[in-house]
Amino acid sequence: MDSLVRFHDQHPQEEAGSLCEELLEGLTATPKCTSPKFFYDRRGSELFDAICEQPEYYPTRTEQAILRAAAADIAEVVGRDATLIELGSGASRKVRLLLEAMHPACYLGVDISRDFLLESTRRLAVDYPWLEVHAACADFTRPMAWPEGLAGERPVAFFPGSSIGNFTPEEAEGFLKGLARLLPAGGGLLVGVDLIKDRAILDAAYNDAAGVTAAFNLNLLQRLRHEFEAEVEPQGFRHRAFYNESASRIEMHLVSLYDQAIRVAGERVEFDAGESLHTESSYKYSIAGFRELAGRAGFEPRAHWTDRDSLFCIHYLERVV
């Protein structure tokens, strides 16, 4: 085993069959939809990283700038010696901006992608030799328990990137309620949330000029071909993303360019010309709106940090019992 990282394997059993069922359920629904989780095969994850580098896609660099500028302040509010738990830790890049200032008793990275998780937590352990590093391979969107043997008494979850925006508000509330159950009174949540703003900024962020977001969206069809025996021509679809103001969300769609039938896992799925497959929603919140949602889930707002242009917000919420 690894001497630098304590690894906890909580990965659910192979679920290819149920993934396929879930996919077909969405493809045969009206209107057609798929969960954003289907974006993230290897290529999809690379394309998402590339999206974060696009000049129009402000969330990543804005959140990083807030973390950099507010790290000392955040540490003061959150306190030292917490058990810092990063949900969907991926490359564990953003948490680096907090570690020195927060000096947690231990760090736990939680991610579903085992190899990626091990690689990035190992790097963290090398770069921060004073830090006790744990890694849990788990699907944190499902009920889970913190692994045994974590140092520190006050768990603080870190959920950056506005990933919470890819849940519907009802799902987000359910997710936060589940998280609240895992936190004792005084435990906390540091969460990055994209703010409601001028639609031109939002529309541009999801329609970058280099076409990376379009490639990310269309890559879903390639994944269906490789992993779900789909017969589908990606050239038969186009990327569409727009801000739906009444629902406070960006919607991403793949729009069929003509009448066509595709096949997924042996099932025939028909598209009319112009019909769309809704592939992702990215909800945006006001500061007050997100606080209300978190309040319904058992959290109380303690502090928040935003950028000068009010593009993005990091909330610190405490578990109240």
Of the candidates 226, 280, 276, the residue with the CA atom closest to the CA atom of residue 249: 280
Per-residue DSSP letters for 171-193?
Answer: HHHHHHHHHHHHS-TT-EEEEEE
- CB of residue 145 to ligand AVI, shortest distance in Å: 25
| Stretch in the footprint of ligand AVI (CB under 6 A) among 15-23, 162-170, 226-234, 312-320 | 162-170
Of the candidates 1, 6, 8, 4, the residue with the CA atom closest to the CA atom of residue 147: 8
Instruction: Say how far apart CA 273 and CA 191 lie, in whole Å.
Output: 40
Q: How many residues sit in the footprint of ligand AVI (CB under 6 A)?
A: 11
Quick note: the x/- pattern for ligand AVI over 213-232, rule CB under 6 A, is x-------------------
Quick note: the x/- pattern for ligand AVI over 85-104, rule CB under 6 A, is --------------------
158 binds ligand AVI (CB under 6 A): no
Of the candidates 61, 67, 31, the residue with the CA atom closest to the CA atom of residue 49: 61
282 binds ligand AVI (CB under 6 A): yes
Taken in order 76, 78, 81, 87, the sign of the CA dihedral is negative
Nearer to ligand AVI, 77 or 255 (CB): 255
Which region holds residue 167: left if phi is over 0, alpha if psi is between -120 and 50, else beta?
beta
Phi and psi dihedrals of 229, rounded to 5?
50, 40
Would you state the torsion angle of the CA atoms of residues 257, 262, 268, 270, taken in this order, to the nearest 10 degrees? 0
Tally of residues, the chain: 321
Q: Which of 51, 95, 118, 293 binds ligand AVI (CB under 6 A)?
A: 51
163 binds ligand AVI (CB under 6 A): yes
Strand partners, 181: none
- CB of residue 59 to ligand AVI, shortest distance in Å: 6
- CB of residue 252 to ligand AVI, shortest distance in Å: 6
- CB of residue 276 to ligand AVI, shortest distance in Å: 16
Provide Rg for the chain, Cα atoms: 20
- CB of residue 280 to ligand AVI, shortest distance in Å: 6
Quick note: the x/- pattern for ligand AVI over 164-183, rule CB under 6 A, is -xx-----------------
Instruction: Say how far apart CA 260 and CA 232 lie, in whole Å.
Output: 9
| Stretch in the footprint of ligand AVI (CB under 6 A) among 62-70, 120-128, 163-171, 261-269 | 163-171
> Interaction with ligand AVI in 185-214: which residues (CB under 6 A)?
206, 213
34 binds ligand AVI (CB under 6 A): no
Of the candidates 165, 189, 12, 194, the residue with the CA atom closest to the CA atom of residue 85: 189
Quick note: the x/- pattern for ligand AVI over 251-280, rule CB under 6 A, is -----------------------------x
Quick note: the x/- pattern for ligand AVI over 53-82, rule CB under 6 A, is ------x-----------------------
Are 278 and 250 spatial neighbours (Cβ–Cβ below 8 Å)? no
Of the candidates 48, 37, 46, the residue with the CA atom closest to the CA atom of residue 15: 37
Residues of this chain that interact with ligand AVI (CB under 6 A) are 51, 59, 161-163, 165-166, 206, 213, 280, 282
